[in-house]
Amino acid sequence: MTTVDTGSRRRGLKVMDEVYGTGFTDTLPSEYTPMLEKTVEHLFGEIWNRPGLSVRDRRLLVVGATAALGRADLIEIQVRGALANRELSAEELREAVLQLQYYVGWGNGTQVNNGVEAALRAHEKEDKR
């Protein structure tokens, strides 16, 4: 393990909870690998924390980039965060799927749709509780 900058880690954990919803960081392992450490401290503590773009703007960029990878699981994580923060509605998310479908290819677009719909179903279940 590498040396921990507790200020960066605290800031990163706070931003992660802002991006993905309160309590998200409670699901992280107690021991950090170097990759997780840099994700928390640099990506969230510094990059997501920068002025200039809102969390919603940054999320839309990540969704677009992730769509090109065809990763339904990663799309679902982003969409759950967007729904938790009320950044995007179901209608906006479905419109984003349609827009991305033509730019990332049909197979990847299908995976984007799968991730969005899985997140919407989970969000609907949570709302019914």
Q: What is the pLDDT of residues 91-114, one digit of tens each?
A: 999 999 999 999 999 999 999 999
Rounded Cα distance, 77 and 119, in Å:
8
Rounded Cα distance, 25 and 111, in Å:
26
Chain center to CA of 57 = 12
What is this structure's pTM? 0.85
Q: Is it the case that residue 1 has pLDDT exceeding 60?
A: no
